[in-house]
Amino acid sequence: MQEKVIDGKAIAAKIKDELKGDLDILAQRHVTPGLAAVLVGDNPASHIYVRNKARECRKIGIHSEVIERPAGFPQNELNALIDDLNSRPDIHGILIQSPLPKPLDELDAVLRVNPAKDVDGFHPMNMGYMLLGTPRFLPCTPYGIIKMLEHIGVDPKGKKVVVLGRGNIVGKPLAVMLMQKWAGYNATVTVCHTATADIPAETRQADILVAAMGKPRFVTGDMIKNGAVIIDVGVNRIEDCSSEKGYTLCGDVDFEGCLPKAGYITPVPGGVGPMTIAMLMYNTVHAAKSAAGIES
């Protein structure tokens, strides 16, 4: 059944390899794409995620800066830091690592970022462009999911897609993207959430099911139809005394239970996660090209 498992690491590696041509073009203009990640507080998952992003950037020749500040960092100083990054010509992408600790206002910080450097695609201006079907940057995790489907030869056009979760990072933008008339999208999309009356009835109709709820192993084998493509966005820590770390990572899908029926399925870890980082790098490179006046 291994051929059913979508290798996110391998697809991400291919995308990063394809960026080398753009990096060569930029190098001819003496431009090195620059990404700055702002990390406030001591959230362990955020620290791991940002460290992985920085490492992968450096591997392919993207300049990466991680700017760390303590949990008590005030909003006015965060805003001043973002303003400074906006003004720097060597920084083409700015990432405000979510979640920000309270009482910091995350929306205020995102609004402060120059939309032309918003490589996460979360600024309301970029969200609006996406909604209108004329995107500048597409949010990294949803875009990574689309690229996964493209890699395995699954075209969402005309297919029934069910998205579990309506968050601003994955659920909402993915639903908007999939319903666009663009080639490689153009699906019929249902979004399920806490007020959905009968989630299993919806998921059993899905040709493509995307789980982004944050509920460990929520999707079970009896909730999917034969041959469905299952994309698991969830990353949950489950207490596990047998593990050296004391916990095990799992997704929002019962992987073992769904594997026999699925046409394709993503693992956790090693599925969507590497794709998110690859698309962040993709957006950063294209932001650098845009700043240099190079058409993509």
Question: Which active-site residues does the annotation give?
Answer: 53, 97, 120
Which one, of 89, 134, 43, 106, lies nearest residue 287 by Cα? 89
3-state DSSP call for residue 122?
Answer: coil
Question: Cis peptide before 33, with omega less than 30 degrees from 0?
Answer: no
DSSP state of 296: -
Cα–Cα distance for residue pair 29/26, rounded to 1 Å: 5
* Helix or strand holding residue 231 (H, E): strand 229-232
Q: CB–CB of 140/120 below 8 Å?
A: yes
Positive or negative, the Cα torsion across 286, 92, 65, 74? Answer: negative
